Chain A
Amino acid sequence: MIQLQNVTVNYGNEWIALYQVSLCVNKGEFVFIVGPTGAGKSTLLKLLYREETATQGTVRVAGHDLNHMPSREVPLFRRRLGIVFQDFGLLPNKTVYENVAFALRVTGESSRTIRRKVPHVLEMVGLAHRPDAFPHQLSGGEQQRVAIARALVNDPPLLLADEPTGNLDPDTSLGIVQLLHHINVRGTTVIVATHDHTIVDRMQRRVVALERGRLVRDDQQGAYRPLLMLSEPMRS
């Protein structure tokens, strides 16, 4: 599903966001990308939905070579992804229903399909009862559920979530991650960038750790910190 080979991303001559990162994610996997702020998590995700391009190395997602993808093909490529952001990225002047329907509208889906798919996906994220609410009338957790519904409505094979629990309290965060897990169980590959160690430790899924742009760890059933460190007492 995803192949990164020796990927480096430079911002100008000074700042190296990612350095020589190689990573392979298979179809149906659930992967946490972890690391402190500035480690390169968001840059890695931006490479995958082609908001950034690699300065060196190759990035392949679902068979597409993103470094050589013409700009006009990018919208079509993104329609096959689901993307979830920390700030939810909802359209503020659209209702819950319209926000989710928008992702189908851009693909040119018929009104009949939209009427069939949107209630179904809202049901799935537990928001079937609030289709006419505007984003500002929802809690943070509900807004994130709308964002996930919008990301899912096109049945994407790959879902990318950048700090999806960054603005949420621990209980709501757990609910969101369980929802992502449920989506993964249905067959969607899920990549979550986070620095929320509680959810990472609880889920016990594959963990890829970044530090200052370098891939420093890739554990199949890992925790936020290396298992070796977890056994040590916390240093202040």
Chain B
Amino acid sequence: MRLSSLGFLLHEAWLNIRRNGLMSLATLGTVTVALTVLGASLWTIFRLSEYAQFQPRRFDRIDLFLLPDVSRERAETLRDQIAHLPGVARVRLIPREQAWADLQASEPLLTEALEENPLPDKLEVEVRDIAQIQAIAHNFRDQTAYPDVERVVDAGEAVRVMLGLARVVKVVGGSASAGLFIATLFLVYNTIRLTVFARRREIRTMQLVGATPGFIRLPLLLEGLFHGVVGALLASGILLLCAREVSRFVASLRSPLIGDVPSLLSPWHVPAVLVALGALIGLVGSYLAIRRFLRPI
């Protein structure tokens, strides 16, 4: 294809968009709404999944409260011994004095009522795999192996429920995302098909004056690409604005479950992903619609 022909086809695509103003606007509106819904759903599902994956990590610690008569040296030996166990990531010894100071700082009224420090030394054990936490905690409850440990505290059942929840979110979210993507593709395809259908007589005329299928197809594909990309940019703008408001609201909730969960997704990933999806949906939608009306005659 000559460069002048390519320039003409680009110009042609732009003219079609401009001169079919109402139809272009309708297509753009549909694409924007569809991609906003898709983007919002994907983003929500992704964040939910991140929250669900993160929650058990809040409970990846087993607290071992030692008997009051266990010496500091004995406690340090026990700490080193536990640190070498398989599945244990880290062990920290919290001396009773430090625990008391922390408690005094956080709960002054409560500590004022007590005459002396009732807290024992404590070992905080972090596990490598959250799924193994119950098995490891169970070992610490064996009085023969750990006679110095008075009490073992772990998240137990809560962790199991949260791990299950994370799995459900992953599976349901993944399926919902795939379903939504297909639904969006069909919606956009149908809208583009309507615009192509409205111009089927033009397509026939073009064929009869000797235009090759490529010459007819390229401007229509470029129009689909334009609608997909511009619709995605508009959807991204809407999503980013909404996300800012939602973040503010969520931050104001002060729920223990909604802490500062780090995300792999930065706000700039949203337009990038949506524009890629929009371009893909626009191109595939146009291609399928054109194929329907560009049969050789």
Query: Which A residues are closer than 8 A to B by beta carbons?
Result: 49, 51, 71, 74-79, 81, 83, 89-94, 102-103, 105-108, 110-111, 150
Contact = CB atoms under 8 A, between A and B. Distances in A.
B172 to A, nearest CB: 46
Chain B contact patch, size range:
20 to 34
Interface in B173-221: 201-202, 204-213, 215
Contact of A78 (B2, B5, B208): B208
Given A51-B297, A79-B210, 16 more contacts: A49-B208, A51-B208, A71-B296, A76-B210, A78-B207, A89-B205, A89-B208, A90-B205, A94-B15, A103-B209, A105-B5, A105-B8, A106-B209, A106-B215, A110-B4, A111-B4
Interface string B1-43: 0101100100000011001100000000000000000000000
Interface SS, B side: helix
A83 B210 CA distance: 10
Contact of B211 (A71, A75, A93): A75
A106 B213 CA distance: 11
A111 B4 CA distance: 8
Given A51-B297, A71-B296, A106-B215, A93 B16 contact: yes
Interface of B: 2, 4-5, 8, 15-16, 19-20, 201-202, 204-213, 215, 296-297
A71 B212 CA distance: 10
Contact of B207 (A75, A76, A94, A108): A75
Contacts of B205: 89-91
Contact of A75 (B8, B20, B210): B210
Nearest to A160: B208
Contacts of B19: 93
User: For A77, A91, A103, which residue has the most chain B Cβ atoms within 10 angstroms?
Assistant: A91
B82 to A, nearest CB: 77
Contact of B209 (A71, A93, A102): A102
A160 to B, nearest CB: 10
Contacts of A150: 209
B202 A92 contact: yes
